[in-house]
Structure 1
Amino acid sequence: MNRRWAGGLIAMLACLAMIGLHTWLGETPQENTTRVSVGKPGRLYDSTITVNSSTIGQALYSDNLFVGRSGVIFLAVNVTIATDGKRRSLDWTVGGESNGRSFAARDPITVPEPGFRITQDVVFEISPDDLAGFTLTVLDRGPIYAYDPQLEIDLGISPDAAAQSMEKDRYAVVRTTRGRVEVDR
């Protein structure tokens, strides 16, 4: 057997061994998940994200422009992101989870350049049943998708608080902002 084929055979055997090991061990858990609550900052590489508050309603305005009305509810989560390191992440995936379901944000999140911060709203369209226990998830995807840091931010909405909020604010107007980048001092 010549050297060219030997190298290829070794590479193929290594790949098969890795596949077999993965199958035997099962799915690798997300070991870089950090859980925080509203008002507590969480780190994703060189950035910090803090959830400030959340609001619900059926009519949505973004930067004072009417976006639409929902048959269910809009949940707007106000976040502040500050990049204090040397690099800015370019690939954050933002979503939400509740009752075993995953939700996509209506718009992508803006990650500021180093030395800057932004306060903006992340909007989800959800069923009223998914308000209690809603968790915001933010994943920083690197070039290799393994052990990327992820934040899970529990909004702290209990079933009783969700019921009270639905009674009081279900038909409210949600006013959101895409934010304005500022110097982080």
Structure 2
Amino acid sequence: MKIYRPTTVIVGVVFVLLGGILRLADPAEVLDDSSRQLVRGSIGAPLTGKDFTLTVTRVKFAQKVLQSESDDPDEVLTTEGVFVAVEFEVAGRHLPETIGDLSLETDGGATYEPFSSPSATSATAPAPGFTESQAAVFEVNPADLAGLTLRVTPMQFISYFTTNYAIDLGIPSEDVAADLVAKASTATGQEYLVPRPQLRVTS
């Protein structure tokens, strides 16, 4: 009978653990994880998770994005496509927590990430009893907007939420999208002023 030294056993355990960590870190494995659920919602309808309630309150199309009304012209964000601003509120019920990263997805399969500034890149839940308003700004292709969906994806090792969220932003067709893009090109609709996050007591 072969006797294994303690050092050999420890090294073996370390390799097994490393293999498990690498497997968890593989994005393909995360996407195929059957333990994750996908919860769908729609604009204006509260979407309730384990420790929070998230509501998309407004979607705005624009050609320019400003951080403040006094922005220098050189600091104004402009695009050859169109900006999509998604405003939302999160009510917390437990300790403050990052719910997940934000992204936009279309029926055509395109995925867009938000600007790291001046908008939010993730949805966060405030302390219990409070509701925080937030906004995320995306630069998108105006020819591919049908089925525009806000995705909230928890990060492993950071958030304990095991559910992904998909919120339909109410753009059922390219015709509807084209109308919104046209309005964003008018003098009164082309600018979007990013609102500052607001914290209030949940009513």
1:119 to 2:119 alignment:
no
Structure 1: distance between partners of 2:133 and 2:40: 20
What corresponds to 2:36 in structure 1? 31
1:74 match: secondary structure: strand
Structure 1: distance between partners of 2:162 and 2:185: 36
Tell me which of 75, 83, 101 is aligned to 2:84: 75
Tell me which of 26, 43, 47 is aligned to 2:48: 43
Classify 1:70/1:44 alpha carbon distance in 2 versus 1 (closer, same or farther; 3 Å).
same
Q: Which runs of 4+ in 1 moved over 6 A?
A: 13-20, 144-147
- Deviates most, 64-73 or 1-10: 1-10
Letter in 2 for 1:95: S
What corresponds to 1:5 in structure 2? 8
| Structure 1: stretches of 5+ with no match in the other structure | 21-25
Letter in 1 for 2:200: E
- Name the TM-score, length of structure 2 as normaliser: 0.73
Structure 1: distance between partners of 2:38 and 2:8: 42
Classify 1:15/1:156 alpha carbon distance in 2 versus 1 (closer, same or farther; 3 Å).
same
What is the percent sequence identity of the aligned residues? 25
- Name the TM-score, length of structure 1 as normaliser: 0.80
2:8 match: secondary structure: helix
After TM superposition, give the deviation of residue 33 of structure 1 in Å: 1.6
1:152 match: secondary structure: strand
| Structure 2: stretches of 5+ with no match in the other structure | 24-28
1:105 match: secondary structure: coil
Classify 1:118/1:18 alpha carbon distance in 2 versus 1 (closer, same or farther; 3 Å).
closer
Letter in 2 for 1:97: E
- Deviates most, 46-55 or 28-37: 28-37
Classify 1:30/1:132 alpha carbon distance in 2 versus 1 (closer, same or farther; 3 Å).
farther
CA deviation string 1:39-94 (max 9, x = no partner):
112234311111112110101123435432222111011111111x2211136311
